[in-house]
Amino acid sequence: MIFIFLGAPGSGKGTQATLTAEKYRLTQICTGDILREAVQRKDALGLKAADYMTAGKLVPDDLVIDIIEQRIERANCKRGFLLDGFPRTIEQAKRLGKMLKQRNRALSEVFYIKVEEKQLIRRLTGRRICPQCSKLYHIEFNPPKRDELCDICHIPVVQRKDDSPEVVLSRLEVYRQKTEPLVKYYQKKDMLIPVEGNGKVDEIFREISQKIDGFLPGN
Ligand code: AMP
């Protein structure tokens, strides 16, 4: 099983990808997390990616494609994996297709989580993160239990630099221009499963699970 979770920043695709990975024991490959870790470590990848990320722009295709190529070779991807935040351009999608073909593997489905733009802005600008354990919160929808401190680490939660209102608008613009064309791209390949992303997390996940259960052998 190889799935893509496609959606705008703030659509909740990461949350759904995590739930799916846990339930179906698949490895989750989240390019945003991999890049953020590299930036924190200040390694070669991080130094190359940092400026693009703070500005809300996409990092160059070659950098992320290299990441994916290395990750899918790992033993934990043999059973299956899901891609969260990749591909984000047509070029990335084409290169992914080639990569899988060379390895005699194929994409199963692409889940496209749809959320309207006003809601995306509200979700992203209200989002907070624990700088230590990366647990996500939202000032309105899911605040920390006490004084803006992480429930687990008890240190103040922070706003990701790219969740500031100006950068959010530029990320959404980049999404519209570069990533949204993937909806048609995968629709033409008859792989796209649109999912309404405005509901509750567990309801959306139930819908995704039902679709996945339908692909499993014996169904
Ligand atoms: P995310 O957490 O998925 O919103 O990703 C945060 C940032 O990482 C994005 O705004 C991009 O700068 C970068 N990034 C993540 N995935 C990709 C990708 N597939 N292609 C290019 N840039 C990416």
In the reported structure, the alpha carbon of residue 87 is separated from the centroid of ligand 1 by a whole-number distance in angstroms of: 10
The whole-model pTM stands at 0.91
Contact 96, 108 (CB under 8 A): no
pLDDT tens digits, one per residue of 201-218? 999 999 999 999 987 776
CA pair distance 202, 31, nearest whole angstrom: 24
In the reported structure, the alpha carbon of residue 58 is separated from the centroid of ligand 1 by a whole-number distance in angstroms of: 6
Domains of the chain: 2-26+79-214 (3.40.50.300)
For ligand 1, say whether the CB of 7 is within 6 Å of any of its atoms: no
174 Cβ contact list (under 8 Å, min separation 6): 56, 57, 58
- Looking at residue 219, its pLDDT comes to 62
Annotated catalytic residue, options 36, 127, 128, 178: 127
Instruction: Look up 128 and say whether it is catalytic.
Output: no
Residue found by looking up tokens 């692909």 in the block: 215
For a ligand 1 pocket test, name from 4, 59, 170, 176 the mutation site with the most ligand atoms within 8 angstroms of its C-beta.
Answer: 59
Annotated catalytic residue, options 36, 95, 128, 171: 171
For ligand 1, say whether the CB of 64 is within 6 Å of any of its atoms: yes
- Looking at residue 218, its pLDDT comes to 67
Kindly state the percentage of the chain with pLDDT values over 90.
90
5: tokens are 């979770």
In the reported structure, the alpha carbon of residue 217 is separated from the centroid of ligand 1 by a whole-number distance in angstroms of: 34
pLDDT tens digits, one per residue of 93-129? 999 999 999 999 999 999 999 999 999 999 999 999 9
Instruction: Look up 13 and say whether it is catalytic.
Output: yes
pLDDT tens digits, one per residue of 172-204? 999 999 999 999 999 999 999 999 999 899 999
